Amino acid sequence: MTMKMKVCWMYHDIMDLYGDKGNILTLQKRCEDRGIEFELETCGIGENKELSDFDLMFLGGGADKEQISLIPDLRSRRENIKKALDEKTFVLLICGGYQLFGQYYTAADGSRIDGLCFNDYYTETGKAGSRCIGNIILDAQLEDLHTKIVGFENHGGQTLNVAHPLGKVLVGEGNAFGAGYEGYYDGRMLGTYLHGPLLPKNPDVADFVIMKALQKRHPDFTYKDLKPLTNPFDQGARKALFERFHIEAD
């Protein structure tokens, strides 16, 4: 049976601040290497899309100016996004996209931008322009998958009241200065501040996202059903970072 994964990249022309295209390319390559058909569509401001038709919805990062520019269009899609979530479309959110699915975020100029309110967390701006910047490593339990997640954080926003964090911080800051935990995962969406981009550095997480997307049309599909892939380059990069920070590898 040929499997297919349909992906919608939201606001690809605006929210691609930190190389988010690398996340899409990683998903595409890892699907194609397994014979999984990969279909990508983009959705910009004013475009008509039925988001529940997709297996995965992806929203990347952007600065305050870009986020403010798309807010009216994003809000107009709230009911359609809810429908997609209810129908098991998986959602991957990076940085600004992560913030926008919360209650609100406060921009650098102090203005409050209301989010979609799908989650209880909210984001305040860092004091005196302070930012969480640097390499970051998480210890994460994604359902049956236990893995360490590596990336680079660069955010002034301090995201608070996160009920279901993605992982425990081993190196770095996380959702806020000294938060101890980073990101958000609740089974239907995964949000994080990790750039780098995220998925090329974390093939296990890329495969987990693929699995969650495929489960929309194949509910019994499991992580173990994905054909194993080996790439010495991504494993080498992870090993180098673990050694640098004296972290035990996976």
DSSP string, 113-145: EE---SSS-EEEEPGGG--EEEEEEEEEEETTE
Q: What was the pLDDT predicted at 239? A: 87
Averaged over 79-88, what is the pLDDT?
98
Q: What is the pLDDT of residues 154-164, one digit of tens each?
A: 999 999 999 99
Q: Which residue has the higher pLDDT, 225 or 238?
A: 225
Res. 152: pLDDT tops 80: yes
Is 209 within 8 Å of 199 (Cβ atoms)? Answer: yes
b (16+ CB within 10 A) / e for 215-225 = ebeeeebeeee
Average pLDDT, the chain: 94
CA dist 57 and 114 (Å) reads 21
Tell me, rounded to whole angstroms, the distance of Cα 36 from its chain centroid.
21
- Please tell me whether the peptide bond between 165 and the residue prior to it is cis, using omega within 30 degrees of 0: no
Angle between helices 203-214 and 21-32 (to 10 degrees): 70
Annotated binding site: 131
CB 186, CB 119: distance < 8 Å: yes
3-state SS assignment for residue 11: coil
pLDDT at 241: 87
- Packing angle of the helix pair 64-76, 78-86 (nearest 10 deg): 70
Task: Return the top range by mean pLDDT from 11-25, 101-115, 180-194.
Answer: 180-194
User: pLDDT digits over 111-143, tens only?
Assistant: 898 999 999 999 999 887 799 999 999 999 999
Give the C-alpha separation, 128 to 108, whole Å.
Answer: 9
Mean pLDDT of 201-217: 97
Q: Token pair for residue 186?
A: 């609740």
Question: Binding site for substrate, residues?
Answer: 131
All structural domains of the chain, each given as residue ranges with its CATH number in brackets, are 4-244 (3.40.50.880)
| Bridge partner list, 136 | 151
CB 150 within 8 A of CB 201: yes
Given pLDDT bands bounded at 50, 70 and 90, which one contains residue 10? very high
Task: Write the pLDDT tens digit of every residue in 30-74.
Answer: 999 999 999 999 999 999 999 999 999 999 988 778 888 899 999
Q: Which residues are catalytic?
A: 95, 195
